[in-house]
Structure 1
Amino acid sequence: MSKTLACRCEDVSLHELEHAIALGYRDIESIKRYTGFGTGWCQGKWCTALCARLIEERGGDPGQGITPRPPYHPTRLADLAGLDPDAGYDP
């Protein structure tokens, strides 16, 4: 059986998106949280439109798309390595 990918970055199939919608997830944000689509390197630039179309076809409301969350810019490992381990950072 072939696997049609809806999100290439996170390897989420079209079947997985359809299954999430069938389970009652009816907006992009909840489907993203359930399947992980749109969380890869492209941050949903390739797959969000497809997911929105699937939601609309099945009577849901795609809403405003994916809500961006920090970090807005990638953090270099060199920057993290330079942190003082005795500074008492609380995650």
Structure 2
Amino acid sequence: MDAIHDRSVDIGPFQTEKDDNLLVCRCEEITKGEIRKAVHDGMRTITEIRRYLRCGMGLCQGQTCARIVKSLVAKELHISPAILEPAASRAPMRPTEMRVLADETEGGSGGE
């Protein structure tokens, strides 16, 4: 069984660090300490961390925090970041008005 999926491996107790209040995911306002604590609470993959804390699921879709989150999780698990499977990556999204999608503006091809 792969070590990162073996939840019986003891990674030691959670101990706070003085920079745990450092903001890692600006979109969802998730701190370094919250990510570290999530690993000790049983979240052992990047996908689990994303679902649990929503880091990497904000407007930037992890473009600013994904590498930091991955390195923090790997450090807590005492493994190389290269071993962790990356979470699904999506392009950053912006809100779009429905009329733009429907192309109902003057000169558009809507209704032709």
CA drift of 1:4 comes to 0.9
- 4+ residue runs of structure 1 moved beyond 4 angstroms? 71-75
Q: What's the CA shift for 1:78?
A: 2.7
Greater C-alpha radius of gyration: 2
- Inter-partner Cα distance in structure 2 for 1:81 and 1:32: 29
Q: Which amino acid aligns with 1:49?
A: R
1:45 corresponds to 2:63: yes
Other-structure match for 1:10: 28
The alpha-carbon deviation at position 5 of structure 1 amounts to: 0.5
TM-aligned CA distance change 1:80 to 1:20, over 3 Å:
farther
More helix by share: 1
Percent of aligned pairs with the same amino acid? 26
TM-score w.r.t. structure 1 length? 0.69
Deviation at 1:79, TM superposition (A): 3.7
Gaps of 5+ in 2: 1-17, 103-112
Q: How many residues in Structure 1 have an aligned counterpart in Structure 2?
A: 80
2:43 matched to which residue of 1?
25
| Unaligned stretches of 5+ residues in structure 1 | 83-91
| Residue 77 to residue 31, structure 1, CA distance change in 2 (3 Å) | same
CA distance in 1, matches of 2:101, 2:68: 39
